[in-house]
Amino acid sequence: LNNAGVMAIPDLRLTKDGYEKTFQTNHLGHFALTSTLLPLLSSHARVINVSSQGYLFASKNGLELDNLNGEREYGPWSSYGQSKLENILFTNELQKRAQNSESHSNLTAFSLHPGAVQTDLARYIIGEEKFISMKENGFSNWKDKLVMESLAKFVLTVQEGASTQVFLASQDVGSLEAGKFFDAGKVTAVQAFAADEAKGVALWDVSEKLSGVKFE
């Protein structure tokens, strides 16, 4: 279950590996982890990638392979959208390759939208210092309290947000459509650019090159 992620980092930040933080955290790390663990997994394993309807923030032209690390331009939401699009393309390509392999033909992969959930993802929207202060010391003024408590009424609890992930991990796999994108426990159609096989192959190739791992 690849769930780790960041959202809407306000400016371009590079990891110690030299990659844009959203790209590495939301996609490249998941790609490398899945590849590394694959030889240890059951032949009937499931790989569940937490994506988001936020993939719609990506370019309508599809994955921008020349801008994976913000080389050309960086935007907090466009970068997040691109990373969530990468989750879907990775899932699609993983499922296709698994079906065509001898050792992993029974592996199933899924991507999903968890919904708007009360997690620390909001830290960059609020501001890191303010977010940490609010968690440790509570609200500093009545305006913050009013805004945050009002917003809380429209977002899911962590338990509710995990429901589709738990569903995909525990449901009889024979009743699930492998390789599909799920929202609220149901298969949901994605935009054509999120089903672009050529972009999926290209992303796979560059991910192997940048992460230094290969799926065997």
> What residues act catalytically?
74
Model pTM?
Answer: 0.84
Q: How many Å from the N-terminal Cα to the C-terminal Cα in the chain?
A: 19
Residues of the chain with pLDDT under 70: 116-156, 158
pLDDT at 206: 98
pLDDT at 102: 87
pLDDT at 131: 46
pLDDT at 147: 44
Which contiguous run of DSSP H or E holds residue 160? Answer: helix 158-161
Q: Give the phi and the psi of residue 40 in degrees, each rounded to 5.
A: -95, -10
Task: For residue range 59-98, list pLDDT tens digits in order.
Answer: 989 999 999 999 999 999 999 999 999 999 999 999 999 9
Q: How far apart are CA 138 and CA 132, in angstroms?
A: 9
Residues in contact with 110: Cβ distance below 8 Å, sequence separation at least 6, in sequence order: 46, 47, 48, 49, 91, 168, 176, 178, 179, 180, 181, 182
